């Protein structure tokens, strides 16, 4: 059982799937789970590891069914009464999203076993009018959600604990009382303060793209710009995810290592930056997944650096599986959302591609040119394309299943746009850091210029014929099966094994030659 956490995550997800689809709970499932776990321990004690493994997985499936069956089911009286609701008092329980003429947030009314998705239409300014944790009184109309275009919108909201939508129009229809400061409330206020400074100094379209790129809020983004990102398969740039966190943390890690900080100390420092990013941007699923993945890897690396565990025990795929388990325990409905599926599948595909079993990293290490700088550039370019190809391989089946489109140019497009997006992210971060100083106008100018380039390139790529093609939904599972088959061939093919060994041997020989060469007189 080489990857126990992965098996645990898959078993738990299977249980949630069965439990949610069945729509009922069986209290006896808890005792079945306990019994299976106890029997697994007994089988392990009797030196029957295979039986213990399957019993343990069965117990985890039972727990998943129990957890998935506990998804939000609203009482009939609440759904019948919802259209009659007009005035409610409660608390804001999400980071608000800001469009051009409206604010969107999740609202928990007092005395109700469910939440409301609120759309507050009002005149400017929008930023700063409402924050996470505020006590508010709303007057408006409540509407029950309805399915559209084959999408079960009511069920999607129910998995988030939301039973209806509320439309509020006008500045005077909301009475807001500032809440006592909390951790998330302070983070939201800091986020809105940053957004206000950017809004005051940037053109409207640049600010909308900055808000999307830095904070994952596309509410103010013009439809033509959002459509261009969608047609080119680049929507992941507008949803703060592991890519953003990786670009952000990569610079910090590089700086700490250049200063000679050892990993056992560098990881906690970078971990603090992860928590700061989560605190300001908000607990989005993709960002939480990336933060948890980093946290588990960092913990393992620090323990290995102190000699507590073996370094080979630190496996990125196990860390990803652990992150998925934590998210599903906190919110089982995330399993059915495209965002969760995309972030897990794309990340898993990248980690698999660069795992020792596939040997892609060893293959990349073979490519060398005359100079060390040229070799780094060449290998970096190939590595970027490999990451893009792996991410697309993992995401394509999910995209086809949920959205019915494929993006044939996505691999090349990502190779062109992602470096520019990285430059834009760091430009925005520097603009935030120097806000309040005389350097702010220069930083804003650089940030705006990078966003203008990014927008122009994406809109140009979206006009290329074939950048987005509609396909039937059944193509999604077919693509997923094909991707799994390719990975299995890469891992278990005899030719691949000999090729990987030869690659590793060549890399080892090259390293040995370089060390010997360094000792020769010149």
Could you tell me which of 2, 1, 8 has the C-alpha nearest to residue 58? 8
Q: How far is CA 230 from CA 99, 152, 467, in A?
A: 19, 21, 10
Q: What does pLDDT average to over the chain?
A: 81
**What is d(CA 79, CA 143) in angstroms, rounded to the nearest whole number?**
10
Domains and CATH numbers, the chain: 4-68 (no CATH), 76-180 (2.40.50.140), 241-336 (no CATH)
Tokens standing for 414?
């990502």
In 3D space, the residue among 418, 416, 419, 396 whose CA is nearest the CA of residue 408 turns out to be 396
The residue that leads in pLDDT, 275 or 36, is 275
Q: Is the peptide bond before 125 cis (omega within 30 degrees of 0)?
A: yes
Instruction: Kindly state the percentage of the chain with pLDDT values over 70.
Output: 85
The more confidently predicted of residues 52 and 122 is: 122
User: Are the C-beta atoms of residues 416 and 457 closer than 8 Å to each other?
Assistant: yes
Q: Summarize the confidence of residues 254-266 as an average pLDDT.
A: 80
Q: 84-113 pLDDT, tens per residue?
A: 888 899 999 999 999 988 999 999 999 888
Nearest to 453 by CA among 209, 267, 221: 209
Give this prediction's pTM.
0.82
Strand runs (DSSP E) across 238-384, as ranges?
A: none
Angle at 509 between CA 504 and CA 511, to 5 degrees: 95
How many whole angstroms separate alpha carbon 33 and alpha carbon 64?
9
């Amino acid at each position: 059982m080489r990857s126990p956490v992965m098996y645990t995550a898959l078993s738990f997800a299977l249980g949630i799937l069965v439990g949610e689809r069945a729509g009922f709970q069986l209290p006896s499932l808890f005792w079945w789970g306990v019994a299976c776990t106890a029997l697994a321990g007994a089988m392990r004690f009797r030196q029957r590891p295979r039986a213990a493994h399957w019993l343990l997985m069965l117990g985890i499936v039972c727990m998943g069914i129990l957890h998935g069956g506990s998804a939000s089911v609203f009482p009939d009286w609440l759904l019948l009464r919802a259209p009659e609701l007009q005035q409610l008092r409660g608390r804001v329980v999400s980071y608000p999203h800001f469009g051009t003429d409206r604010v969107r947030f999740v609202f928990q009314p007092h005395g109700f076993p469910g939440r409301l998705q609120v759309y507050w239409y009002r005149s400017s300014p929008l930023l700063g009018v409402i924050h996470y944790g505020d006590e508010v009184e709303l007057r408006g109309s409540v509407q029950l959600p309805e399915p559209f275009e084959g999408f079960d919108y009511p069920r999607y909201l129910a998995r988030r604990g939301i039973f209806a939508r509320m439309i509020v129009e006008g500045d005077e229809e909301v009475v807001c009382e500032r809440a006592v400061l909390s951790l998330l409330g302070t983070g939201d206020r800091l986020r809105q303060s940053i957004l206000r400074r950017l809004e005051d100094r940037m053109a409207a379209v640049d600010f909308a793209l900055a808000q999307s790129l830095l904070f994952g809020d596309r509410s103010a983004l013009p439809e033509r710009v959002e459509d261009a990102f969608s047609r080119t398969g680049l929507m992941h740039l507008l949803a703060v995810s592991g890519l953003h966190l990786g670009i952000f943390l990569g610079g910090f890690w590089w700086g700490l290592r250049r200063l000679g900080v050892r990993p056992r100390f560098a990881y906690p420092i970078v971990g603090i930056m992860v928590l700061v990013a989560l605190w300001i941007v908000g607990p989005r699923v993709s960002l939480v997944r990336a933060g948890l993945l980093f946290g588990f890897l960092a913990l393992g690396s620090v323990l290995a650096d102190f000699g507590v565990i073996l370094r080979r025990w630190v496996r990125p795929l196990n860390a990803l599986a652990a992150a998925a388990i934590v998210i599903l325990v906190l919110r089982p409905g995330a399993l059915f959302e495209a965002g969760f599926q995309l972030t897990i599948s794309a990340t898993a595909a990248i980690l698999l591609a660069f795992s020792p079993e596939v040997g892609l990293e060893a293959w990349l290490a073979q490519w060398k040119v005359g100079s060390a700088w040229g070799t780094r550039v060449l290998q970096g370019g190939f590595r970027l394309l490999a990451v893009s190809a792996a991410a697309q391989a993992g995401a394509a089946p999910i995209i086809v299943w949920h959205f019915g489109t494929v993006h044939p140019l996505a691999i090349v497009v990502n190779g062109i746009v992602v470096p520019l997006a990285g430059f834009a992210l760091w430009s925005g971060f520097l603009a935030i850091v120097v806000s309040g100083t005389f350097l702010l106008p220069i930083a804003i100018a650089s940030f705006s210029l990078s966003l203008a380039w990014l927008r122009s390139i994406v809109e140009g790529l979206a006009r290329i014929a074939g950048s987005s093609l509609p396909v039937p939904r059944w193509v999604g599972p077919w693509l997923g099966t094909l991707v799994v088959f390719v990975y299995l061939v890469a891992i278990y093919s005899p030719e691949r094994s000999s090729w990987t060994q030869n690659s590793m041997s060549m890399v080892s020989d090259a390293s040995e030659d370089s060390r010997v060469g360094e000792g020769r007189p010149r």
